[in-house]
Every structure is written in C-alpha cells, then in structure tokens.
Structure 1
Amino acid sequence: MQLTLWTYEGPPHVGAMRVVTAMQGVHYVLHAPQGDTYADLLFTMIERRDRRPPVTYSTFQARDLGGDTAALFQTAARDAVARFQPQALLVGASCTAELIQDDPGGLAEALGLDIPVIPLELPSYQRKENWGAAETFYRLVRAMAPAPAPRSERGGRRARCNLLGATALGFRHRDDLREVRALLDRLGVDVHVAAPMGATPADLQRLTEADFNVVLYPEIADTAAAWLERTHRMPRTRTVPIGRRATLAFVDEVAALAGLDAFAAREALDWRADWYARSVDSNYLTGKRVFVFGDATHAVAAARVAAHELGFTVVGLGSYSREFARDVRAAAAEFGLEPLITDDYLEVEARIAELQPELVLGTQMERHVAKRLGLPCAVISAPVHVQDFPARYAPQMGVEGSAVMFDTWVQPLMMGLEEHLLHMFRDDFEFHSQATPSHLGRSGTPVAAEPVPAAAPEVNAPAAAPIVVPATAGAAAVDPQWAADAERELHRIPFFVRGKARRNTERFARDRGVALITVETLYDAKAHFSA
C-alpha cells in the first residue's frame, strides 16, 4: 500500500457507483463505515448531478464492531428496497468493510427479496475503479440477459446496435453518447439500447435483440461485450471513434457489421478542422513536442490524433490503466517510445520535467503539473475536475469531437504565444500597465502614471566576468546565482520554454563551477545545448 495525496483511480466500489448512478431502476447497498460516504461528493459536487447516487450505506461505526455488523447491513438492504423500489439490487462492501468479511451477498440472499440481487466481489486491495466499473456492468448484463437462443434474421428492418460503456463521472460520456447516436443514425443504424447510461435492468434484458454491440469505452464495456460475443454470438466493434481517422475507420467497421455501404456516409461527414490543416498558420503546429497521459482509450487515441492529424511529435505516452497496458505499449511502439505505465503521479511529473514538451495532454493532475512547470496543457481523460463537466455540448468522439479536440489542444499553444508577447512588452514605454490604452487615441487621459524606472547605467563598469570556483575533489556542487541582467534576459524567453532554459543554464554553470550566471553564461549554455 502507498500513501499518496492523489490517485488516478478510486477503489473498485467507486467504479460500481459510477455504473449504478448512470442507470435507472438499480440500487446499490454498500457495507461501509461512516467515512466512506465521501463518494457521493464525486457525483454531486464534481459532476454536478442534480441527484445523489442511488447508494445506501450501512454506515457502521467503531462501536458497532463489537456487535453484529451483519444485522446493520441487512437492515439497510431491507429499508432500501422498501423505500426506493428498485428493479434490481446490487450489494457489496467498501475497501474498509472488506476487512471484516461480513459477506454482503450471502446476507442479502438470506433476506429472500422479491427482486434480483446481484452480489459484487470487488477486491479493493488488488483492483481499482475502472476494473470495478467493468466488473459491475458485466455482472449486471450476465444476471439480466436471457438464456442463449438462435439469432433471428433481420428481415427488412434497419440494423440496430447497442452502445456500451458510458457511465457517470466519465470524461464527456454524455456528449459522446449523443454524438455517436447521431453518427449511427446518419449511417442508417438504429440504437437499440445504450448502457449503462440511461438504461434500466429491463433494458439489459433486451441487449441480445440487437445485431451487434458498439464498445465506446473498452475499460468499462469490453468484459461485458466479450461475454455477449461468446455466449450470444453478438459481434462488437473494436475501433473507438476519437479523431478523424478513427471515426472513418469506425464508420467502415459499423458498415461492415450492418451490411451497409459506408461510402456515401463518409462523403457526407463535414470535418470543420480540415481548413486549418491546409492553411499557412498550421505550420506553427508542425513538430510541436507533446506528452500524452490518461486512461488507455483516450491516451492512445490522443497520441494518434496528435501525430497523424495535427502534425505534432509525440515524445511521451503513458497510462494508469494497467489492464490495458498491452494496448498502450503497442501504440507507443508506433512512435518509437517506451510507454510509462504507472499510477504514481510523481513518476509522471518527473517524466514531463525530463522531456520538457511544448504541450501536455493528460488528466486533472497533469494540468496541475503543467501549470507548475509553466507548460501549456489540455485535459483529455478522467479523472477530471468540475470544469471538465461543461454545461455545453463538448464531445470527444465523432465529427464534432474532432473539432472540440482541435480547439482545446491548439488554444493553449496559440494563447501561449500571445501571452509571451504581452509579457515581453509589459515594460515597454508604450505598453506598460500605466500607459494610456491605444484605443483612446492621443486625447485619452492616462491614469496617473509613474514613469517606468529604467535600469541605471553603470559608468565605466567593466563587464562582469563569470566567477569560476575551482573544482576540488569531494567538493559539493555550487548552486549558481543569477545576475540581475541575466534574470532580465531570461524573462525575454517565452514562458513555455523558460523553465527549460533556466534548468539548462544552471546545469551548464554547475558543471563548469560558475557561481554567478551572467548574460554571457546564458548564451553560452544555449549554444552548448543547441549544438
């Protein structure tokens, strides 16, 4: 076990909560102490849902451990069914309650309830949130699906599919679902059931009536879709439509499964970001160094979009999804990279600091890291904070998703250049903060402005020579200091590469025993590292 202040995934029971919160007519009774009820805030505060998740906690306390905690759980389960009248009941234990081994599944079965009771065995000390969500969805599908039967012919009706994988607290899942629905309708394919998001247990019983399954998020839906394929002979898609190329490949795959001609549908797609790729301004993006980290689905898709559609150079790729590490390694091999498979944010921060990319694509934590390092950043994957659950329509998948990603990724680079120019000229006599705004013209009255002080010239002062400390055996490395003029010159460097310039210069000075960094040292270091 590792003590940390940040985690990319919560315990597996949080994944179960994501599934039941997305659904309707399902309730989850969680054997948990009072402190584990924090998970409600993930949905009401961060995702800004208008209702609490359908979860009842047994909420035992320390004083209850000497008594019958099993009776507390049974009472909570019985009361939840009476109050909420669910179509199906899920039961399980939180990471803390797992230690007392009360067997929620057996306790719920002993109640003899008149609705399906689905026990969840989620090993909190071996698995994490996405695995918990996948296991929960799989158990629900398996419990609700009818017995295998021969598949009926389609006849003259339109092809129909299920959309699998969208959950609560997912990164843009709500909007992705809407975008893919519209894309499939344009292809001539009906959506039979979308699950877990918006589905009921009765809907899960109808899953096998569809012709095939569309797996939107493999981390959540792949286990259930694979079982449906094995047991009910329902084929599934393997392409996630994130980015232009992937969306076109997805259209081809769906058309093949539905027996349709995809050519007309491909031609009708309107890619609004294409004009920029043909413009002169797009040259500014070519070769920009980008680091990508997130869940496997979004990280791999983002890396391919960055490299193949925007002309970026992917210098780092990683994921916290250990269950999909093989897919991430295969994608990293396309770019000649060694992937970073870790759930330790400090390792990710160290890799970003080492690579010094020009753009970071990651989670909420990478946003913090990039801000600390002075690097542009865009969020592409959960976990995310409240600002990445927008009220507006902002998918990541399909045609509109490619436009949203384009805007989101390019903006930090473009605005970074503008911000650098503002910093660069902030001390200029014409543009300093107390100067009259240019749109007021000459008649404008400036705010009582004090003259901007200029550095007093040193009369007959010889140029400061670097102070060199002779290296002695066993002596500790000298921490170099910055001269005032060198510090001013450093601030003329764009802020998004300033940190790298500072570190390289200090390393150059330290290696040569230079105690005072001057302007000459700064440019000597630049020449050294540019060679």
Structure 2
Amino acid sequence: MQLTVWTYEGPPHMGAIRVATAMEGVHCVLHAPVGDTYADLLFTMIERRAGRPAVTYSSFQARDMGGDSGGLFKRTVAEAYERFRPQVILVAPTCTGELLQDDPGGLARAVGLPIPVIPLSLPSYQRKENWGAAETFYALVRGLAGRGQPGPRPPRPEGQAPSCNILGPVSLGFRHRDDLVEVRRLLDLLGVTVNVVAPLGASPADLTRLGAADFNVVLYPEVADTAARWLERTFSQPSVRVMPIGVGATRDFVAEVARVAGIDPVPALDESTLRLPWYSRSVDSTYLTGKRVFLFGDASHVIAAARVAQDEMGFNVVGMGTYSREFGREFRQAAEQYGVEPLITDDYLEVEARLADLRPDLVLGTQMERHVAKRLGLPCAVISAPVHVQDFPARFAPQMGLEGANVLFDTWVHPLMMGLEEHLLTMFREDFEFHAEAAPSHLGSAAPRSLEPADAVVSIQADPAATLVAAPAAGDASPSSSTSPSTPGVTWEPEAEAELRKIPFFVRGKARRNTERFAADRGLARITVETLYDAKAHFGS
C-alpha cells in the first residue's frame, strides 16, 4: 500500500459506478463503510451532473462488523429497489467492504428481487478504475445481450443501411459527450445507422439489441475492449478500433468503417470545415516545428495524441507515458515508433521526475500534469482523464473527428503562444520603457512622476560617497530571487549573471541549468564567467 496525494485511477468500484451512472435503469449497490461514499462529489461537482450517481451504499460502521453485516446489505438492496425501481441491479464490495468476506452476489439474490441482479468481481487490491469499468460493462453485456444469442447472421438485405453499435462512452469520461456527437455525424455522412450507444444513455433493453448490429465502433478501448471482443466471438461482429483523433486518424476511421460496412467513404471526407492542416502550416514555425513534447494519460489518448503531435503539428515527441498497465504491450509498440522509452506508471512523482529531466516545450497530460507543469514553468494542455471541472465545458469541444482536430490545434498551440508572450516580457523587462518602475505607456506624458524611475537614479548619483560605500556590499550580496540558482549549493557571481543575461532568452534557462550541473559535478560553489564558458564548451562538444 502506498500513501499518496494523487491517484490517476480510483479503485475498481469507481469504474462500476461510472458505468451504472452513464446508463438508464441500472443501479449499483455497494457493500461499503461510511467513508467510501465520496463518489457523489466526482459526479456532481466535477462532471456537474444535475442528479446523484446511480449508487447506494450499505454504509456499515464499526459496530456492524462484529454483527450481521450481511443482513444490513440485504436490507440496503431491498431499499434501493423500492426507492429507485431499476431494471438491473449491480452488486459489489468496495475495497474496505471486501475485507468483511461477505458475498454481495449471494446476499442480493437471497432478497428475491423480480429483476436481474448482476454480481461484480472487482479485486480492489489488484485492479483499478478503468479495469473495473471494463469488467462492469462486460458483465452487463454478457448478462443481458447473451440471453438471446442468434444463429448464423444472414446477409444484410439489398438496400438496407448498415448499422453499428458505439461502445465505450461513460460518465466522467474526457469529452465523451462531445466525441459521441462528432462520431455520430461521421457515421451519418457515411449512411451508417447507429443501433445502440453504450454505456452512455443505454438501458438494459438496449443491451439486449447489441447483437442486431453489423459491427461495433470501439471508441474507448479502456472501457469497451473486453465487451467488444466478447461480441466478436458471440455475434461475429467485426470491430472498428481506430480512434478518430486528429486528421489522419479520422480519415483512417472513415476508411475502416467503409471497409467493414462495404460502402463508399467519400461522403464523410468533406474537409471544408477542417482548419488544422492549414493552421499548422501557416502559423510561425517557432511555435510548432521541432517543439519538444511529452505526453501522459490513458494509453488510447496518448497514442492518438502522439500521432497528431508529430505528424500533423510538427512537434518532436521526446517522451510518452501511461497509467494504463492493461495496455502496456500496445503502448510499448507505439513508443518504439518515436524512439522514446515508455513510462508506464501510476506514480505521479515518477512523471514529475521525467518532466524535470526532459524539460519539454509542451506537456500534454492529465489534470496532475497541469499542476506539475505549472510548478516547473512548462506550458501544458489536457488530453486525457482524470480531469477537473474546467474540462467539462459548457461549449461543444470534442477531441474526435474533424471538429475535434480544430479543437486540438487551439488547445495545444495557445499555451505555446502565451509562453512566447511571457518570454518577450521577460526579455524586455530591463528595457528603459518596460522595466517594473516605468509608467504605463498608455498614460503618455500625463504619467505621474512617482511612476518614473528618474528620481531614484538621481538620488543614487547625488551622493558619490554613498555609492562607493555601498559597492562592496553589493558585490557580496546574493543574487536576486529572479536569478536565484536552481541547483542548491551553487552561487552565481554578479559578472557571470551579467554574462548569462547576454544569452538569448529562449536558451537562457537551458544554459543556466547546464552551467549549474557542470559546477555541481566539479564541486564548484561559485560560478564565474570562466565557469560559464567552460560549461558551454563542455556541453557544446
């Protein structure tokens, strides 16, 4: 067990709640202590849902652990059915409830409800949230769609439009709501009808119709992959697994859907609203071309985003990582294409250490990478869950499809442009017009005298003796906070600081870090001008 202030994924029962909340007529009953009822906040505060998530807790306390905790759970199941009248009930223990060794599935069946009760096996100490969501969705699909397994599929009648299921969108998913709208639009342009979307918005009755579709579109493999593979085996339904994130992937998605459905892909390839390719070529190359980017998040989004970053935006992928251990093999194969070492971890401190070492020009990650990048002074954009409330926007902001490609361009490039603005302000901060004491330029000659630095300059030069006396003290003073060393135990001489400021701003930070590392490796406590040039020669060779 590890104590941490952040986790990329919650326990597997959180995945079960996400699936149940996404659906209609499904309720989840968890055998849990009072302290495990925190899930409500994630849905009402972060996702901004209008209602509570579809979950009820047995909420046992310490006094129940030595008594009839099973009876408490049975009463909770019966009360949940009477209150919510669901069509299906899911039952499982939380990580703490698992320690009681009760059998929620058997206890729930003993209640004798007139609806299906599906027990979930969620090993809380071996698995995590996305696995729990995938296992829950698989259990629902197998338990409901598997009841009426058909015989061999007959050929589709001539003139009948092909149909598909869209699998994977859930509650608390990163832009799942908007992605679904964009993917539906693409399928509509291709003439493909949507049979069922699940879990998001689906009812148990909808799941019984999954076998009627010609094929499945797996939008989010972390949630839908296991269920899709079962549907392939059971109903002989092929799956489209291309995530249409970016221009190239959207074209591949359209081509794959057309191939599986046996239709013409041309109608969906109208790119008149697509701006990313031209914007990427027309924007100043210093914003994009060759910018070093690091990506972290769930495996599917990172793999898709890396392709967009390198092939469509002109970035250079210098690192990529994921917390999705279940997709480690696919992720390693993707990392090989970019010649980088994959980082597969759920420890945010390892990610922070990699970022501090690489110092990329742009970070594409989760909410945690946003915090880390801010601390390190790096531009950042969010590409994957887990996310905070600002990544559930009121506006339409998909990641998939042609409109999603436009959104990606804006989201990724704007931090770099703002970063350039900050660099310019830093570069000119000692200029006579732009220093901290200068009057606002819009005030012109009407600026108050108190804002001008002339008085301070005159007062210093009016007393030469004071200057002579103050000079030695100034030489002994430590550097200001704005130029303080990033390596502990290393001090810059004023002459070296002055020489460092002559280096262009966009490489000055790297020169400082290299010089401090050079000095630390050689045990030098103070950095002089000679040290600066020695470091330059060392790292430039």
TM-score by length of 1: 0.92
The CA distance in 1 between the partners of 2:380 and 2:507, in whole Å, is: 13
User: For the Cα contact (< 8 Å) 1:480–1:510, is it kept in 2?
Assistant: yes
- Residue 448 of structure 1 aligns with which residue? 450
The CA distance in 2 between the partners of 1:498 and 1:65, in whole Å, is: 62
- Residue 469 of structure 1 aligns with which residue? none
| 1:426-441 equivalent positions in 2, closer than 5 A | 426-440=429-443
Q: CA RMSD in A?
A: 2.6
Deviation at residue 268 of structure 1 after TM alignment = 4.5
The CA distance in 1 between the partners of 2:408 and 2:373, in whole Å, is: 18
- Residue 387 of structure 2 aligns with which residue? 384
- The secondary structure found in structure 2 opposite 1:135 is helix
The CA distance in 2 between the partners of 1:153 and 1:33, in whole Å, is: 53
Pair 1:209-2:212 in alignment:
yes
User: For the Cα contact (< 8 Å) 1:23–1:199, is it kept in 2?
Assistant: yes
User: For the Cα contact (< 8 Å) 1:434–1:450, is it kept in 2?
Assistant: yes
- Residue 69 of structure 2 aligns with which residue? 69
Question: CA 1:165–1:493 in 2, change beyond 3 Å: closer, same or farther?
Answer: farther
Pair 1:295-2:298 in alignment:
yes
The CA distance in 2 between the partners of 1:139 and 1:346, in whole Å, is: 35
The CA distance in 2 between the partners of 1:39 and 1:496, in whole Å, is: 44
The CA distance in 1 between the partners of 2:12 and 2:282, in whole Å, is: 47
- Residue 516 of structure 2 aligns with which residue? 506
Question: CA 1:370–1:501 in 2, change beyond 3 Å: closer, same or farther?
Answer: farther
Greater per-residue helix proportion: 2
User: For the Cα contact (< 8 Å) 2:440–2:447, is it kept in 1?
Assistant: no
Give the one of 149, 154, 161 matched to 2:156: 154
1:312-356 residue CA offsets vs partner (Å, 9 max, x unmatched): 111111111010001110101111122111111111111111112
Give the one of 224, 233, 242 matched to 2:236: 233
1:188-229 residue CA offsets vs partner (Å, 9 max, x unmatched): 111121111111111111111111110000010010011001
Pair 1:529-2:529 in alignment:
no
The CA distance in 2 between the partners of 1:15 and 1:490, in whole Å, is: 52
- The secondary structure found in structure 2 opposite 1:125 is coil
User: For the Cα contact (< 8 Å) 2:287–2:416, is it kept in 1?
Assistant: no
Equivalences, count:
519
Give the one of 180, 187, 191 matched to 2:190: 187
| 1:69-468 equivalent positions in 2, closer than 5 A | 69-145=69-145, 146-149=147-150, 150-155=152-157, 156-268=159-271, 270-279=273-282, 281-282=284-285, 284-440=287-443, 442-446=444-448, 448-451=450-453
- The secondary structure found in structure 1 opposite 2:318 is strand
| 1:467-486 equivalent positions in 2, closer than 5 A | 479-484=489-494, 486=496
The CA distance in 1 between the partners of 2:73 and 2:268, in whole Å, is: 54
User: For the Cα contact (< 8 Å) 2:175–2:397, is it kept in 1?
Assistant: yes
The letter of the residue matching 1:511 is: D
1:210-256 residue CA offsets vs partner (Å, 9 max, x unmatched): 11110000010010011001001111102111111111000000011
User: For the Cα contact (< 8 Å) 1:478–1:515, is it kept in 2?
Assistant: no
- The secondary structure found in structure 2 opposite 1:448 is helix
Question: CA 1:54–1:311 in 2, change beyond 3 Å: closer, same or farther?
Answer: same
The CA distance in 2 between the partners of 1:478 and 1:206, in whole Å, is: 64
The CA distance in 1 between the partners of 2:540 and 2:218, in whole Å, is: 46
Question: CA 1:85–1:257 in 2, change beyond 3 Å: closer, same or farther?
Answer: same
Deviation at residue 159 of structure 1 after TM alignment = 1.4
- The secondary structure found in structure 1 opposite 2:239 is coil
The CA distance in 1 between the partners of 2:505 and 2:204, in whole Å, is: 53
The CA distance in 1 between the partners of 2:171 and 2:449, in whole Å, is: 52
Pair 1:4-2:4 in alignment:
yes
The CA distance in 1 between the partners of 2:389 and 2:436, in whole Å, is: 33
Question: CA 1:250–1:308 in 2, change beyond 3 Å: closer, same or farther?
Answer: same
User: For the Cα contact (< 8 Å) 2:427–2:505, is it kept in 1?
Assistant: no
The CA distance in 2 between the partners of 1:34 and 1:42, in whole Å, is: 17
User: For the Cα contact (< 8 Å) 2:131–2:223, is it kept in 1?
Assistant: yes
User: For the Cα contact (< 8 Å) 1:420–1:494, is it kept in 2?
Assistant: no
The letter of the residue matching 2:298 is: D
Deviation at residue 267 of structure 1 after TM alignment = 4.0
Deviation at residue 381 of structure 1 after TM alignment = 0.7
Instruction: Quote the sequence identity (%).
Output: 69
TM-score by length of 2: 0.90
Question: CA 1:180–1:436 in 2, change beyond 3 Å: closer, same or farther?
Answer: same
1:392-450 residue CA offsets vs partner (Å, 9 max, x unmatched): 1111111111111111111111110111111222343212355443344x354347315
The CA distance in 2 between the partners of 1:9 and 1:279, in whole Å, is: 39
1:299-318 residue CA offsets vs partner (Å, 9 max, x unmatched): 11111111111111111111
Question: CA 1:372–1:268 in 2, change beyond 3 Å: closer, same or farther?
Answer: closer
User: For the Cα contact (< 8 Å) 1:91–1:104, is it kept in 2?
Assistant: yes
Question: CA 1:344–1:450 in 2, change beyond 3 Å: closer, same or farther?
Answer: same
The CA distance in 2 between the partners of 1:22 and 1:264, in whole Å, is: 32
Deviation at residue 526 of structure 1 after TM alignment = 3.6
- Residue 473 of structure 1 aligns with which residue? none
The letter of the residue matching 2:453 is: P
The CA distance in 2 between the partners of 1:87 and 1:326, in whole Å, is: 38
Question: CA 1:157–1:41 in 2, change beyond 3 Å: closer, same or farther?
Answer: same
The letter of the residue matching 1:220 is: V
User: For the Cα contact (< 8 Å) 1:241–1:397, is it kept in 2?
Assistant: yes
- The secondary structure found in structure 2 opposite 1:166 is coil
Deviation at residue 486 of structure 1 after TM alignment = 4.4
The letter of the residue matching 2:85 is: Q
The CA distance in 2 between the partners of 1:481 and 1:528, in whole Å, is: 20
User: For the Cα contact (< 8 Å) 1:374–1:495, is it kept in 2?
Assistant: no
Deviation at residue 529 of structure 1 after TM alignment = 2.2
